[in-house]
Amino acid sequence: MNAGVFSDAMDVIDSKYVEEAMHYQRKRKPIPWIKIGAVAAACILVAGTFTIYNFSKQNQQGVFEIEPRRTLPSEKVEDTKTTIGSETNPGISTDECAADMHRPVGYHPRIGSALALKLSLHKESPEKVYDVVIPCFHRFGEDDCIVERLSDRLDTTSWRCWARIQWSDRGIEEKYHAQLTLDQINIVVEAGLSCFYIGSGKGNLADMNFDNPKGIETYCELVGDKYTFASDGSIAHKPDILVEGLVELEP
Amino acid sequence: MEKAQQMSIQDGEIIKLFFERSEQAIRELETKYGNACFRLAYNILGNRQDAEECVNDAYLGVWNAIPPAKPDPLLSYVLKIVRNLSLKKYWKNRAIKRDCAYTVSIHEIELFLATPNTTESEIDALELAKMIEEFLDMQTTENRVIFMRRYWFSDSYKDIAEQVGLSEKTVSVRLTRIRRKLKEFLIQKEVLV
């Protein structure tokens, strides 16, 4: 079907739909102050308990470390990484995972133009399958979610995987490079990416998107000038992604 | 603006002025619906001068059509004329590539409805319109409005979000789902393969 036929069909569509769209008034919901108050109080209580619990736990155990990354020789690296789940940020249980996000030097400063995520996974359960869901926002506005199951590309003997994908046939020039190792996923994404999720492998892959967190255990999402990292129900909001060196990729 | 609209005269009175062949009819039409007409034409053409020309041509079209036509409701009748004229101009101007909202929205739906197989059955606009109406009747009011605002009025996500009281992101997700459902519906109806 081409645009002309669709446009012609829209021309002759019943006027009642045009009228409805013209005169639609959004519904104004009353603000449930009591509910908001109760939720806020509960959140403060939970956050307080969680912080105290993590603080005491960290004092007992070592920090789960991310292996040092390799950088391109030409890149200057500023040591400004933000690590979640380390001593510097006790927001998330260190047993589970740690992550840092960084934007390679020389990329457009707009968030999402290029990102790299290094995520350390559960060391205790290497058999776990992690899916990566990548919603791509191309130049015509937010459109389709492009879903890739990295585990399908995984070489189970070495637990390593490299992927380099272009969707140029859809007019979208998105690329990502990923490496899966026993305990880490290293991903560098180029051009137009806004957010992506590392799923737990549970649930239906097709259902995993930013509207429906079902099956997403761990995710990283960029919103405005902040990014959110979440794992096992804990969510940490962090400021802008900091400049860091590009993870070196195999050809 | 709402107050101003309330103060303006009723559609029936404007039509009466058209029947009396009073030029005041055009002025009243312009006062009451000028903004909506211009916005629609501008969304399609992306050019102020062209949009103004189309709106003026549409007024002339309305002048010639009433009488004998007695449209009710008047607004959608006028908007349809504006849309038709704007689209004609749009296709005529296509060589001059303009980055207007219509190009974006139509490309968006074209990408989604295009199938890799070329075996899709031929369908005329009238038949497709009936199917789109059937599809829209199955949607919630909010989704219908979002769809129409995007593909009839060529509104931006931002404008739609403001009108329906949702975030831009939600509007974008909703549109993706509506397009997907429409595609499934058309496949079910054997319009797409």
Q: Is the pLDDT of residue A36 over 70?
A: yes
pLDDT of residue B99: 57
Q: What is the pLDDT of residues A181-234, one digit of tens each?
A: 433 444 444 433 334 444 433 444 344 443 444 444 445 554 434 455 555 555
Q: Do A20 and B145 touch (CB under 8 A)?
A: yes
Antiparallel, parallel or unpaired: β A195-198 and A175-180: unpaired
Average the pLDDT over A1-17 and give the result: 80
pLDDT of residue B139: 87
ipTM associated with this complex: 0.77
Average the pLDDT over A32-45 and give the result: 82
pLDDT of residue A46: 85
Q: Got the DSSP string for B168-185?
A: HHHHHHHHHHHHHHHHHH
- Measure in Å the smallest separation between the Cα of B138 and chain A Cα atoms: 13
Q: Is the pLDDT of residue B13 over 80?
A: yes
- Measure in Å the smallest separation between the Cα of B159 and chain A Cα atoms: 12
Considering only residues B129 and A138, tell me which one the structure prediction assigns the higher pLDDT. Answer: B129
Considering only residues A72 and B148, tell me which one the structure prediction assigns the higher pLDDT. Answer: B148
Rounded Cα distance between A210 and A136, Å, is 12
- Measure in Å the smallest separation between the Cα of B49 and chain A Cα atoms: 23
- Candidate from A106-110, B24-28, B65-69 with smallest mean pLDDT: A106-110
- In the stretch 121-160 of chain B, residues with CB closer than 8 A to chain A read 123-126, 128-129, 132-133, 136, 141-142, 144-145, 148-149, 151-153, 157
Q: Do B172 and A22 touch (CB under 8 A)?
A: no
Rounded Cα distance between A156 and B54, Å, is 63
Q: Do A5 and B128 touch (CB under 8 A)?
A: yes
- Cβ–Cβ < 8 Å for B80, A11: yes
Q: Name the band, by pLDDT with cuts 50, 70 and 90, for residue A176.
A: very low
Q: Is the pLDDT of residue B125 over 50?
A: yes
Distance separating the N- and C-terminal Cα atoms of chain A? 40
Helix (H) or strand (E) holding A219, with range, is strand A218-223
Task: Name beta bridge partners: A195.
Answer: A221
